Structures are given as C-alpha cells and as structure tokens.
Structure 1
C-alpha cells in the first residue's frame, strides 16, 4: 500500500471517528483499516490514536501528523489535477463565498460568465454576510468588502468600496437634511448591527463631539438597510455599488459626503488561503474577477 493510501485511511478514521465508519466510507473491512493504522504507527514508532469503545481521538503526535497529512494530500490532489488539466480545458470544482448584496449584484453574474466560458468547471457558491473561515470550511476563495483586517489570507484588491450617506427625499422632507455629522444623533439611523458611533460611519477626525448615532433600525443585512432607507425609515451609510442606481434615479439622496474619509469604506477584495500550489482553475477565476471588476 502506498503512503498516500495510508494517509487517506488515517484521515478517514479521524473524520468518521471509528475504524468501522472509516471502513464503510472507503469500501474496506474494519480489520483492514485497523491494520493499516497500526502499521503506520509501528513505522513512526509513536501512537497516533487513543482507542476507546466509543470514538477514536488523536494523540498530540497524531494531531500534528494528521494536520500535515491533510495539507500534503490537498496539495498533491491539486497538483495532479492541475497537471492533468495543463494542456486542456479548465475543469473541476471551485468553492467560493461572498457577502449577499455584493455577491448578487457583482459576483454571481461574473461567475455565470466564467462558467459559460469554462463549462467543465463546477462552482459551489455561498452567499452570506457572516465572515467564513476559508481554511476551516474548505473554501477556495472569498470576495469581501470593507476594511481588510490583518490575517494570514492572501488578498487582491478588486475595486474601492466607496460608501454613501443616504436618505430618501420623503425622510429628508419630513425630518430635515442634516448639515453636520453631529446632527445625526437626533435622526433615525439605519445601522449594521455593530455600528453605534458616528465614527463607525467613516467621518473625518476633524468632526468634533463624536457621539452615538441616533436610534432607528439595525440589521446584519445591507440589503435590508437599503430597503428601509428607500422606504423613508432613516439615514444609512451604504456601499455605492448597492445604491448607485437609487441615487441616480432620485430614490435616494446622498448627504454629508464632504465629512467622510474618502477611503473609509475600504475596498472589495478577493481572498484565498495561503498555499504553495494554487490549482489553475482557481487562479483563472481570480484573474477573471480581477479583470472584470471596475471602480
């Protein structure tokens, strides 16, 4: 049996929790699985698993070995797929995630175009406003907007993420148009769930008397905030890519822009885990998105 097969058996035991469950997944007998793990431990001269009647758990050495083995198998599989595809069409799976509004408006149409150009590529996409752990959940890439936090992920900027302070004409006629940021404390403010201070909306440091935003409506969805803003429920700080058409048609009006830092909204980025070998299909999708996104 090859070392690759040994690694696959060990990881199957780890993932399924027992020899019998791993055997069913691999199409082997439980005794064959147990024998291969025992032979691996004998060769390494260290126990990798703590055996119990209910579940297998990794020893400290087993934890280290399994983590490295998983990384090796992932890179080996990617290398084999890439070499097989090197002289032919792009093929194989790609998994990516994006925030809901950005994904629906920008990423999904481009992904569909990419798949039309590369019909043998299979794409699985998750739209969510939650921050997904790409490594833990096995995603190849993510497209996210905002200020990029420090992380071990490899990033590539696609465009600026300019944001606009907006309100509907109906709201402004009823409650008045604020001329200074401090006036927002007396207005109904539509905020992302964790936004509470005026400074969260990107105002310049010259704005004095920083205080809390006025109470209105908070939600974790930019689309929900846009809907509330268009319905005249208050003032919101929203990405230009989401409200540009509303502003152009007069459904929303932009206010207080001279008081906001130009780069306060950060950017739109494509992120991926750092790895020594990137499959050609993933690299092609990254380049495709970078070429199609424009400020």
Structure 2
C-alpha cells in the first residue's frame, strides 16, 4: 500500500514527465523527489521510472503500481464511509422484493425521498410472484417484501402489516367469443377457453395459481403488464387488477364480464424479519404505513394501451 505522498509522487511524475516539473508541482526540491522515487523502487525491488528518455516516464511496473494504488485508495475511502454508515445504524444494503403485481413506477417518489437522506445505503429492488415473494423473505433474499399476497406463512421472527386490498375484474378482449355471452359466466363456459396467468416464481414452496380452473388450458406470462397485453390481444381470459385497467375498460379495449364465482379481493402485505432492523428498513416501514402512499402502491398506474 502506498502512502498519500507516494501516490502523489507517482501521479506527478506521470503527469509532468520531468523530475523538475514534478518537484515544482509537489512544492519540493528536485533532489528530494529523486530520493523519494529511488526509495520507492528499493521498497518494491522494481524499476518504476524510465530515466533513459528525454521525458521521465513510468515503466509498465510503475503504471501498474499507480493504477492499483489509486484503486486501493478509493476502496479504502469507500470502506471507511461504509463502516461509519453501519456504525451510525444504517444498513450497508437494503434488499426489497416486491410482488410483481406492484408497479415499479409507483415506487419512484419513495426512492427519491430515500435518496434525499444521503444515507449511503445501497438499494436493491427485485420482484417475485405469489409464493416466491414469501420465499425470498424466508430464504434471506429479501430484507423487506412489499405487496405479498396470501396469508403470511410461518417464518421465524416474521413481522407484517396489511398494505391494502386489491380488487379484480374479469376482463376480456371484445373480440373473444365470451364477450357477447350471457352473464353471469359459468365455470363450464370458462373451462373451454385458455386462461392467462402470471407464473409463480417459488422455487421450493408449493406453487399456487389464481384466476384459473383445474383442467383449464393456461398461458403463463412473466408479468402483470404482459397479462394485460395478452388480454387485449385476445390471447386468453382471466382476472385483472380493476384499477389498472379502468382506461382499457372505458375505451373498449377490454370488456368486463360478470362471473358466477367471482374472485375475492386480495389483501396485500408488507413483511420483514425482526432479527435486525436498521434505520433504512425503519424509514421504509414508516413510509409504507402512510395511507396515501399505500393506496397509490395498491392501485398502481392505470394502463392506457
């Protein structure tokens, strides 16, 4: 590891290309700089400066030393900041997993507000679907989950609260054969048509599905956005978040149909493990408990196409 003075010496020689000019830049006598340069070569037992040319240049070994020393200095600086950050009660990183049903756009104002704290905490936001969201918390792949569906499972030190309720609408393309069928639609009618579903991302917890019937053909898609698009393009039928498709229902790109066995609204949960709660997690929890924000997150952004 180089001292700050040694790193400054190498950088000055590299920039100035002259012992005299490097000494002037450092505010030192040329003899002092020359002696320091030779001591550095003795320390590393390597030729670091090429003195054979008109310009004083770094050898390949000297260039490597300068680059690595600068990188290490930056690493030490970053590490120092992170240590102070954690000592002050902030986490080094906060991993947030949202159920895919939540839209990232609704989190942007919250992220900006968190950035304004200048905490230094690195945010990582990913998403899972259905049981995969709870599994991420159980397996340590999440510090906080937002929008998890289904009842909270048995997870050690689990804490949770309800974020809100999401209502569903059975919506299909106006071109679909069921669009003009008499209501309410019966299960026998639905079974004859393919359902569009968002695939559960659980690796080990038993996968669960909603909005389709046993024996019904399905088209599994990666996101709710893709599911909405598939409904509009007449690729299948099923349930969609009412708030997110209001515009599509209004402009006729989707048609609402009453179903004999209506889908119950989903309660969405915020959950975390209480084994370690830092200042970043506390801040996010306080924000998510605000009614106005919770309503915006649950309702999402109304689709327009």
Interval of TM-score (by shorter of Structure 1 and Structure 2)? 0.5 to 0.7
Looking at structure 1, the residues matched to 259 and 115 of structure 2 have their Cα atoms a distance apart, in angstroms, of 40
Q: How far 1:159 sits from its partner (Å)?
A: 0.9
> Post-superposition, which runs of at least 4 consecutive aligned residues in structure 1 deviate over 4 A?
80-83, 172-175
Q: Aligned-pair distance for 1:160?
A: 0.3
- 1:105-254 alignment to 2 at 5 Å? 105-106=105-106, 108-120=107-119, 121-129=121-129, 130-131=132-133, 132-152=135-155, 153-171=158-176, 176=181, 179-182=184-187, 183-193=189-199, 200-201=210-211, 212=214, 214-254=216-256
Instruction: After superposition, give the CA deviation of every residue in 1:57-84 in whole Å (9 maximum; x if it has no partner).
Output: xxxxxxxxxxxxxxxxxxxxxxx96773
- 2:282 corresponds in structure 1 to 283
CA contact (8 A) 2:197 2:211 kept: no
Give unmatched runs, 5+ long, in structure 1.
Answer: 1-79, 203-210
Provide the rounded CA distance (Å) in 1 between the counterparts of 2:145 and 2:199.
22
CA contact (8 A) 2:96 2:126 kept: yes
User: In the superposition, relative to structure 1, how do residues 162 and 100 fare at CA in structure 2: closer, same or farther (>3 Å)?
Assistant: same
Contact 2:164 2:269 in 1 (8 A): yes
**Alpha-carbon RMSD:** 3.3
Q: Distance in 2 between matches of 1:105 and 1:274?
A: 28
SS at match of 1:137: coil
TM-score by length of 2: 0.54
Give the alignment's TM-score, normalised by structure 1.
Answer: 0.55
Deviations 1:215-245 (A, max 9, x none): 3523353332221101122211122354344
Larger radius of gyration: 2
1:113–1:289 distance in 2 versus 1, CA, 3 Å: farther
Q: Secondary structure at the match of 1:285?
A: helix
SS in 2 for 1:191: strand
- Are the equivalent residues in 2 in contact too, given 1:81–1:279 (CA < 8 A)? no
How far apart are 1:139 and its partner, in Å? 2.3
The offset of 1:126, in angstroms, is 1.4
- Give 1:94's aligned residue: 94
